[in-house]
Amino acid sequence: MPPNPGPAAGLLGLVAHDSKKHDMVAWATEHRRVLAHFDIVATGTTGGRILEACPELRLTRLKSGPLGGDQQIGALIAEGRVRALVFLVDPLSAQPHDVDVKALMRVALVYDIPLALNISTAEMLIAALESEAG
């Protein structure tokens, strides 16, 4: 199994399916104080919407998920650069790039990074990050 880079290393990844982008922006806005302690990578549209609401965050926008953004975040995970991923998934809608979505989840599992797929788990993750950030 690939090594985990450890709790002090890495970026935070943020991804949301179209129907969950509003939830992601609301979550990021609510937790902007904690998120401001971290460098963030996000897929294109999700990242743009978060930056509109929280311009103070250190967020790098990658490509849109269907255009390769999911794969870009997966590559960063494989390089040991992403320490946690919040990926708000819409389980009720078919995704045209479902193969990329599954690949991103799989690489997060292989590299044993925290992976939040819904708001409840994202809340638990941000609580752990807040305790680290002080």
Active site residue 112: no
CATH superfamily of 11-133: Methylglyoxal synthase-like domain (3.40.50.1380)
Q: Count the residues in the chain.
A: 134
**Residue 44 near residue 61 (C-beta atoms within 8 A):** yes
For 9-46, write each residue's pLDDT tens digit. Answer: 579 999 999 999 999 999 999 999 999 999 999 999 99
For 70-107, write each residue's pLDDT tens digit. Answer: 999 999 999 999 999 999 998 877 676 678 888 999 99
CA–CA separation, 5 vs 29, rounded Å? 27
Active-site residue identified among 23, 70, 90, 112: 70
CA–CA separation, 111 vs 46, rounded Å? 23
pTM of the model: 0.90
* Encoded tokens for 33: 């104080």
